[in-house]
Structure formats: C-alpha cells, structure tokens
Structure 1
Amino acid sequence: MELRDFIVTPIIILLVYTVAYILRSSVTDSVTRPYFFPALTAKILGALALGFIYQFYYSGGDTYNFHSYGSRHIWEAFMEDPAAGFKLLFGDGSNELGIYKYSSKIAFFHDRQSFMVIRIAAVFDLLTFSSYSATAVLFSIISFIGLWMLFVAFYELKPELHRWIAIATLFIPSVVFWGSGLLKDTITLACLGIATLLTKRIFIDKRFNIVQALLLLLCFYIIFSIKKYILLSYLPALMIWVYATTLAKVRSTAFKVLMLPFVIIIAAVSGYFTIAQVGKDDPRYALEQIGNTAKITAYDIAYLTGHDAGSTYSLGELDGSFSGLLKLAPQAINVSLFRPYIWEVRNPLMLMSAVESITLLALTIFVIFKRAATLFATLLNPHIIYCMVFSLTFAFAVGVSTFNFGTLSRYKIPLLPFYALALIFIYYENKETKLDEFESTE
C-alpha cells in the first residue's frame, strides 16, 4: 500500500457510488433494486480484500505482478513519454524503438494473455494515478457489470426466483473474492455474464442490435485473448442453448422429436468447429494436443508455478492423450465442484472453498432427491442444459489440468454461478412457486 492508495481510492469509490446512484433506476426495477448496492459493495470489498491478502498473506502474486511490474511501467511511460505509452498500450508486443526502457521491466510483456490484463489495468491507471487499490476497484466494477447482466438474464427468465438467482450470480463468496480484483479471472468472468445476456437478447429474445452484436464479439475476443480454454467450454454450451431454446418454442411434440437429432448434430458440429478454430490460433488447444496441454499445465501448477498457492491433489497419472483425460472426467468434475473436503483443508482460504464445496454437495444431493422422479424431463429445459453443459464441461477442464486446490479455487469461479443456477432451475421446474411475496414487491 502506498500513500496514493489512501488518497485516490476513496475518491474513486465515491465517484463509483455517485455514478451507480445516477444509473441505478435505468438498470433496475422494483424487484432487482434492493440487490444493486449490496452486490456493488460486495465486489468492491472483494477487490480490496484480495489485494490485502496478496500483500500480507502471499507477499506478492499475479495481481501485484500485473500492476507493480506491469501497468505501472506503462503509466510511467505515459507520464514521461506519451508516444512510448501509446506504443506499449496498442503495440503488437514487440520491443519497438523507444519502449525498451519500459518494456524490459514488464514481467509479462511477451505473455499475450497476461499482457492483455496489464493493458486494461494501464488504462485504469491513467484514471487512478497508478494506485493499485483504486485500479483494483475499477476491475471490481467491470466484474459487477458482468455479473449483474448475468443476474438480469436469468431474472428475466424466472422473475419469481429473483432472490435465489441473486444469491447464485452476485453473492457466492469465492466468486466475490476471486472474481473482483486485478486478475485475469475478473475480466473473463465479466465477459461471460455480458455474453450471456447479449446472447439472450439477440438470439433468444430476437431483439437484434448491431451494438449488442459488436459487444458480444468483443467479449468473445477478450476471453479468447486471456483464457482460450474458457471459450472452448463456453461457446458450445452457448450454441446448444440457442438451438435448444428455438426447438423448445415449437409446439408440435412430433416435430420436436424429429428435429432433436438434427439439433444435436448441428450443436456438435458447431462445437467441433469452435474448438478447431481456437486450435488454429494456438496449437496447444488443438484437439490432438489438448491432452498434452492439460498434462503440462497440471504438473506445472501443482509442482512449480502454483506450488505455494495451496495443497496439491492428484486424479491419477496423465498420459497426455485426450482419451486419458476423459477417463478422469468424473474425478475432475468432482474435485472442481465438491472438493476440497474439510479434512483436506491446509489454510484459511481453503476453508472458505471447502465450506462452499460442502454446501454445493449438500444442495446437489437435496435437489436430486427432491426431483428424482422428474429429473430427466427437467434436464430438457434449455436454460438448465446451457448451465449444466458449461459448468460440467468447465469443471472437467479445470479439474483435470490444475492439480492444486489453491489455484483451482480461483480457476473454477466461472462455473459456480452457472451450476448454482442449474440447481435452482431444476428444483423449481414444474413446481408451484409462491408468488405472493414477489407480487407484493411489484
């Protein structure tokens, strides 16, 4: 913490609340309004808490590397030589004439994924005088916008479940904590929420808007630039959501049955094409290399770069093949959703993750037990399919390629809101809901 943090951060927070107060009436209704400022406050506190933990518990880490050894040097370039600052911010990552003085100090200058986050932080630094805490607060606002849009998307589908949807999208503790600070996860999480609402608007509600379409493409580009593997799990689920929702609107049951195989084929082909396109840009994510990439990443996080992030775990030996990964799918999904168990806790942050995991396991068992008779029919709901396909696919992806509970607790946050939403929609599908309270708030 520096003196500038104590001066600039309160000013930025005051400005954020002022703008939020002005905009609140245009982005909320009488039902959603009570969640707006509590959710915003939770994100800001999450960002500040994350910075505090990284400074005083971890004594450094990615968030400080992105700032102190990243965006701070771009900010210094703007202060000393604006031309060099623009080259750093908008350049192609090469050491052009006049920028080596600054680029040589940037830890992730040649890491395209990390440097994308540094560029975003550098833009915020221009507004915060390179105050870490103030910049982290602005990152939390980006996350809040994305998760609020995710909340709105599902609130519009089931407004009577507003309280449960708010908890799932806005108030899961680890999502608030790990998804608020100056990290890659904050940006990608926000983009997932924004993309979900925009997809609903454009393809499900049939309210096409060129600005929304461009914003949707921008979200895909940002996720692709920062964490490609998220896109590998997300885009196929998104396509299935659109296809399944379109099919669900058909009234003829016979026609639905006839069209279902075609929808499955189209979704599968679209998913394969998406994965193939990502693989073209980065060979590590090509189908034939995914198994080996997962193996290298898992062992690197477990024993090298993530060694100090928490306790390691193992699902068995990875042989570098995709078929070898698939064999570990049940264990990988289990570790992402329901571990660490209480007896595996080694530090305070793992305890938070363990409590969440136990809660999620208990809710899963409860929902399955309560809806066992209609579970299969319930899973045909397009919105449940979307949440389940993404959350389980992503749980498999991060579970099999992390091998470290500390790192996993951060990497898995994108799946948690979607899995929680799936449980909520399964439980309340075809169930009489009490609308008295909801109607009284209108």
Structure 2
Amino acid sequence: MSVLVYLLNILLLAGLVWWLYRQPWVKELQPYFFPALVLKLLCGVLLGLLYFQYYGGAGDTVTYYKASLRLTAYAKNDFGNYVWLLLFNEFESEAFRATIPFSRLPDFSNSFYLIKLLSVLNLFTNGAYYLNTLYFSLFSFWGAGRLSAALATAFPSTKEAAVVAFLFFPSVVFWSAGLTKDAIMFGSMCWLVAFAVNRAHSKPVRVEEVLLLPLMLYLFVRIKIFYAALLLPLLLGYLVIMGLSKFVVALKQRTVQVAVFITAFTILVLVATQLRDFLSIEFIVEQVFFSYEDLLQRSLHGPHMVLSLKPTLASMVAHYPEALINAVFRPFMGESWEWLYIIMGLENLLLFILMALSLASLFRKAPVKVELLYVALLLFIFVLGGIIGLSTPNFGSLSRYRVVFLPFLVYLLLQNYYTQKLLNRLQRLP
C-alpha cells in the first residue's frame, strides 16, 4: 500500500512540475528552472533530516507533523466532525482539543491552521512526511520562480540578481523549503509580489491569476498577518502610483513617484497609529518585548545576542539600528564554531561583502537607477528587519525568520556595479 501511495504521489508531483514548466513565465528562468527546482526539493528533505536526525525530533516541523497525524486519524474515524472542525474550529470535546498543540485559540493560531492544512494533505500522502515536504517545497518554489521571472521581465538587467536571490541563495532556499509555515508564507508572498510587478508593468492578467489571487492573499494573511499588514499596503501603493503614472505626466518621473510614495506611506503610518483599535503601538511594543524575553530565556544555552531592551517605544527605537544590523549580519564568523553557525557566518560574511560593494558603487560616476519597487522593498526590509532583530535573540531562529526579507535585500545588493559586472561575465561563459 505504501509503495502505491508513493508511486501515485510521485506521478502527481511530476504532473505538477510539468504544469509549472509549461507556464509562460518559465521561459524567463531558462536554464535555471530545473537546477533551482531540484535544489529546493532537496533542501526540503534536508530540513526534515536536520530536525529528525540532528535535533532528535525536536522543532516545529516535527510538532506540526505529529499533530496533523492525530487530526488525520480523527478524519478516518469520524469524517463528518473532522470537516466541521476544519471549517469552524470546533472540537467535539476539550479532551480531544488538549491532544492538539496550538489549539487553545484556533481562530487566531497560524500554527493550528497549518496543522489542519497538513492533515488534509495527509489524506493523499498517507501521512508520509517527506512526500508532504515535497508538496510544500514545490509550492514555495512556484512563488519564488514566478517572482524571479516577473523581475526578469520588468527589469531585464537584473535577471541574474533575481535568480540568485530567490532561487539559489543558501539560507533563503533552505528555510523556505520543507514542512514549515515559512514555505507557505514564502510561496504566497512571492506570488503576490510577482502579481503586483506584472500588473505595474502592464503585463496582461491571466484568468488563472484572477482565480488564484484570493487564495494567495488568504494564505499569506492567514500564515503571517503581520508581514502581510506591512507588505500589502506597500504593494498597493506601488500599484496605484504606477497606474496613475500612465495618465499623470508628473508621475512619469521616478523622483516624483518616490516622493509621493514615501509621503503617502508616512501619512498612512501616522494615521494608523492614531487608530488605537486598529493598530496599538503599545501592544506591538509589548509583543516584541515578550517575544525577545521568551526566546532569550530559551537561548541561554547556545549562541545568542543580548539587547538591553525595555518594554517601551523609546527603548525599541534606540535599539532599532543595532537590531537591524544584527538581523542582517549576525552571527559573525567566530561567534560559534558549531558547523551550523559556521555556515551562517560565511553567508553573513558574503552579505557584508555585498553591502561593502554596494556602498563602493555609490562613489562611481555611473548613474544609479532607482525604481519605485526598490523603494517599496527597502521600506519593507528596514521595517521588518529591525522588528525581527528586536524580537529574536536566537541566531538559529533569526536565520529562519529573516527569510521573509533577506531575498529582497540580496536582490537589491546584487545590483551594485561590481557584482553586475561579474554576473554579466558569468552569463557570457559557454
């Protein structure tokens, strides 16, 4: 039976890959499509091995998987009540609820939502962990591939930068694969950014995109509502200004576009902070502080960083620059000689080199082309990077959480004069 399940799912996965490969956007990714796909699927499997073998079965992915098996067993025993649970988050008993982690507030818990989603997938894979991993990783690749292709179409000179940043940058590929919330978040987020880029550059919308848009919006908001609360208004502002630029002469100038965008974003933030029922700054500050304190207490046995944080807005603002730097460049080489931290340190050293090259490029006389999209992405990076740095003292968690903004940062950094010159040379190699 298990052999048949594996065979049928491998055939289904092959069919999905074939469907992806026939999509019009794939031609922009040649010859990178299959190497990137294989790498993504392999990283999903390696992530599972990391948690099951190296960490001894500890970690969120294992917790989600084991909990989903309980729900799947429940489905096989009482399918009617299982469907009712999926739709309305109502358990038949408190005793059963107690056996499912993250179910105390089922309407709000993104972890519980993922467990439900995974339990449905289990019905098709017979609960095979690594088959589930392949599906999650393929979904993540779909979004990343679409975004790489969209950026390559809208900004042809940045094609290699997009491919490297979203499809081959080590921690981005690894932590956005596998049986995790991040795989769903990353796939849906990238898909939505690709949708916005295509619409902003007047690419005709396809019927399947219209049908998939509500699903991708729902997944992104449901899995990571805070990320969505920041990114979606930025994308909407980008789309509105790019749309108006076709009719308003003044908005055809990039400097005017950027000025209007930043002004509108600033006004939106100021208005939102006054709507206490909608966005409580005090609540956000408290949540960031509690997250920091909780992770710090669980990180004392291993490499971590310490900020003298207090649960006040003034303290958060004062530590924000340091937190942003930590989120991008920590751990440094030498902070730990465990093999995982050595790999993290090497990647962060590469980021530091890219940052240095980008700063050096500013002193050249070559013109710097600032696109409105880049400004939107920079705002996303600066805001979210700082908040993640403030709330995450654990280096391992930090490497995983920053996958939401890191590919955008790498994409922008790779556009410096020196790196572009190197990428162009590599592209001309036979």
Q: TM-score range by the shorter chain?
A: 0.7 to 0.9
Of residues 23, 26, 29 in structure 2, which corresponds to 1:26?
A: 23
The answer to whether structure 1 residue 325 and structure 2 residue 322 are counterparts is no
Which sections of structure 1, spanning at least 5 residues, go unmatched? Answer: none
Partners of 2:317 and 2:138 in 1: how far apart?
37
The answer to whether structure 1 residue 231 and structure 2 residue 228 are counterparts is yes
For 1:406, the equivalent position in structure 2 comes to 396
Of residues 288, 302, 319 in structure 2, which corresponds to 1:294?
A: 288
Residue 16 of structure 1 and its aligned partner are, at CA, apart by: 1.4
Partners of 1:172 and 1:358 in 2: how far apart?
13
Residue 262 of structure 1 and its aligned partner are, at CA, apart by: 4.5
The answer to whether structure 1 residue 16 and structure 2 residue 13 are counterparts is yes
Residues 415/231 of structure 1: CA separation in 2 closer, same or farther (3 Å cut): same
Which sections of structure 2, spanning at least 5 residues, go unmatched? Answer: none
Q: Work out whether residues 243 and 267 of structure 1, in 8 Å CA contact, stay in contact via their aligned partners in 2.
A: no
Correspondence 1:32-431 to 2 at 5 A: 32-59=29-56, 60-68=58-66, 70-91=67-88, 93-95=89-91, 97=92, 100=94, 102-111=96-105, 112-205=109-202, 207=204, 212=209, 215-242=212-239, 245=242, 252=250, 262-271=260-269, 280=277, 286-304=280-298, 310-314=302-306, 316-373=307-364, 378=368, 380-427=370-417
State the Cα RMSD in Å: 3.4
Range 70-79 or range 259-268, more displaced: 259-268
Partners of 1:436 and 1:276 in 2: how far apart?
51
Report SS of the residue matched to 1:413: helix
Range 226-235 or range 399-408, more displaced: 226-235
Residue 434 of structure 1 and its aligned partner are, at CA, apart by: 6.0
Could you give the per-residue CA deviations for residues 380-419 of structure 1, whole angstroms, max 9, x where no partner exists?
4212212222122221111011111011111011111100
TM-score normalised by the chain length of structure 2: 0.86
Q: Work out whether residues 398 and 408 of structure 1, in 8 Å CA contact, stay in contact via their aligned partners in 2.
A: yes
Partners of 1:336 and 1:372 in 2: how far apart?
26
Q: Work out whether residues 340 and 350 of structure 1, in 8 Å CA contact, stay in contact via their aligned partners in 2.
A: yes
Q: Work out whether residues 318 and 324 of structure 1, in 8 Å CA contact, stay in contact via their aligned partners in 2.
A: yes
Residue 298 of structure 1 and its aligned partner are, at CA, apart by: 0.7
Q: How many residues align?
A: 425
Q: Once the two structures are aligned, what percentage of the paired residues are identical?
A: 25
Report SS of the residue matched to 1:205: coil
Range 425-434 or range 20-29, more displaced: 425-434
Residue 240 of structure 1 and its aligned partner are, at CA, apart by: 4.6
Report SS of the residue matched to 1:343: coil
Partners of 1:280 and 1:142 in 2: how far apart?
35
TM-score normalised by the chain length of structure 1: 0.84
Residue 225 of structure 1 and its aligned partner are, at CA, apart by: 2.4
Partners of 1:401 and 1:379 in 2: how far apart?
34
Could you give the per-residue CA deviations for residues 128-185 of structure 1, whole angstroms, max 9, x where no partner exists?
0111111121111111111112212211122343233211111111122111111111
Partners of 1:106 and 1:83 in 2: how far apart?
18
Q: Work out whether residues 133 and 178 of structure 2, in 8 Å CA contact, stay in contact via their aligned partners in 1.
A: yes
For 2:182, the aligned partner's letter is: D
Range 199-208 or range 417-426, more displaced: 199-208
For 2:405, the aligned partner's letter is: L
